[in-house]
Amino acid sequence: MADASTKFCPKCSSSLVSFSVLDGTMTGTSSASCGACSWKGALNELLSVPFQHDFTSDEAMLHQLKVELRNTIAKGAGTDLAKLLMRWGFVSQGKPEDMKVRLSRLLEALATGALRELLLEREKIEKEVVR
């Protein structure tokens, strides 16, 4: 298990905070800011909630979220999506094994795009809540 923490803005409680642990290493004061409100301050002012996880990095955690999203899309609407993609010419006729590979790549692209949009929309929502 790896130790980690989630950080929140002390002014509005948003998780839409930016900081760098490298910034301020010479002075001992790393800066932080909130993307949802106007707060700016020191990294140690952020509210911090510790947690443990089995991921090797933040990227691995994000990758797992994308895999789960892709699998959910494939299980819930895989057949309908395959038909739609074929009807609109995203997958041309061919050998079944080739079509399966192409469909898999397209489902991966759908999950990646959907996750990007989910994260962008979450950011918008965070900013709206503060207003």
pTM above 0.85? Answer: no
| Interacting residues of 66 by C-beta distance below 8 A, sequence separation 6+ | 111, 112, 115
Sorting pLDDT into bands at 50, 70 and 90, what band is 23? low
Burial class (CB in 10 A: 0-12, 13-18, 19+), 8: middle
Sorting pLDDT into bands at 50, 70 and 90, what band is 64? very high
| Interacting residues of 38 by C-beta distance below 8 A, sequence separation 6+ | 11
The C-alpha angle 117, 121, 126, rounded to 5 degrees, equals 150
* Average pLDDT across the chain, whole number: 88
Q: Assess whether pLDDT exceeds 70 at residue 41.
A: yes
Q: Give the position of tokens 């691995």.
A: 60
pLDDT top residue among 26 and 95: 95
State the alpha helices, DSSP H only, in the chain: 58-87, 96-130
Q: Assess whether pLDDT exceeds 90 at residue 105.
A: yes
Instruction: Kindly report the backbone phi and psi dihedral angles of residue 63, in degrees, each rounded to the nearest multiple of 5, phi listed first.
Output: -60, -40
Task: Give me the mean pLDDT over the 11-25 stretch.
Answer: 83
Q: Give the position of tokens 């700016």.
A: 40
Instruction: Dump pLDDT digits (tens) for 77-89.
Output: 989 998 999 899 9
Task: Give me the mean pLDDT over the 30-39 stretch.
Answer: 91
Residue ranges per domain, the chain?
Answer: 2-53, 58-130
**Residue 38 structure tokens:** 């106007």
Specify the pLDDT at position 17: 94
